[in-house]
Amino acid sequence: MNSVNSTSIIKKIAYELGFQFCGISKAEFLAEESPRLEKWLKDSKHGKMAYMENHFDMRLDPRLLVPGAKSVVSLLYNYYPEQKQREDSFHVSKYAYGTDYHFVLKDKLKLFLERIRTEIGDVDGRVFVDSAPVMDKVWAKKSGLGWVGKHSNLIHPKKGSFFFIAELIIDLELEADGPIKDYCGTCTRCIDACPTDAIVEPYVVDGSKCISYLTIELKDEILPTEFSGKMKDWIFGCDICQDVCPWNRFSTPHAEPLFSSANGWLNYSKNDWKDLTDELFSNLFKNSAVKRTKKDGLMRNINFIQTKS
């Protein structure tokens, strides 16, 4: 089977599995990203996320992750919710409303690889969902699925940025798609709206200042005092830079039942959150990404907002 036919089959499978967009890149060394990543790490913009310093070479060359790799298949899966949280409460990032995306997408990707082997033949490779040193936004950009905006998120010109990105890195020669242009123009809404000034310059985010980092990744018992009064009621993640982005006026609700919150916490008041018990936390967020911060971490964030705002 030639590369054109294989490419067509792979994109057909992607859409049948519910991925909204699929793009393909040649598996090669990311020469342009190397100095950028090196500088970002050298400037400590990864905060206390020490794991970002690991596997530097693997982050830049997928062939070190998957020997014999020839193609990177990038996929976008919509998570924009139809129902939002009440405005006068503490906020959780939209990506965490339902079942943890790692579970949902990993199952789909395993099925994807099985179908490729059934319909094309003996194909070797691995699937990735934000769980290995893969620069997913860079690969999605290279494959024409959008451009990386000034807030460092991938933006699709027809559907915005509320997408999970996943990859298959496989040893199959495919027809590569090309990148599209950057349409951010002179807009600075994301930069202007960030309450912690985490977007230190267009296209560069200081992770150590990002509310998502502070509320999830940072494990310190107390959050840094420099962020007092700047958290804007976010207790798990943050969507501010995406919410203000003009391109997200094109976002449409997802069709994934597992991403919908069915246990009522979207309507929680601030008092409901403050009264959260260990048992209730475990029940509400059993299969949710929110469990990453644990109940103590969530209460740390709530207490910081309450005492420092």
Q: What DSSP string describes 164-218?
A: EEEEEEES---PPPPP-----TT--HHHHH-TT--EEETTEE-GGG-HHIIIII-
Instruction: State the catalytic residues.
Output: 130
> Rounded to 10 degrees, what is the CA torsion of 203, 209, 212, 215?
180
Report the amino acid identity of residue 81: P
Q: Which of 43, 83, 122, 127 is nearest to 267 (CA)?
A: 83
The separation between the first and the last C-alpha atoms of the chain, rounded to the nearest angstrom, is: 62
CA 6 to CA 79: how far, in whole Å? 28
Beta-carbon count within 10 A of 153 CB:
21
Q: Which helix (H) or strand (E) holds 278?
A: helix 278-284
Helices marked H in 50-198 — which ranges?
A: 56-60, 101-119, 136-142, 189-193
The CA distance from 95 to 246, in Å, is 19
AA letter at 276: L
- In the chain, DSSP assigns E strands to 21-26, 71-78, 91-92, 125-128, 147-148, 154-155, 163-170, 199-201, 204-205, 234-236
Q: How far apart are CA 40 and CA 65, in angstroms?
A: 22
Go through 47-76 and write b for each residue having 16 or more CB atoms within 10 A of its CB, e for each that does not: beeeebeeeeeebbbbeebbeebbbbbbbb
Output the six-digit token pair for 265: 């916490």
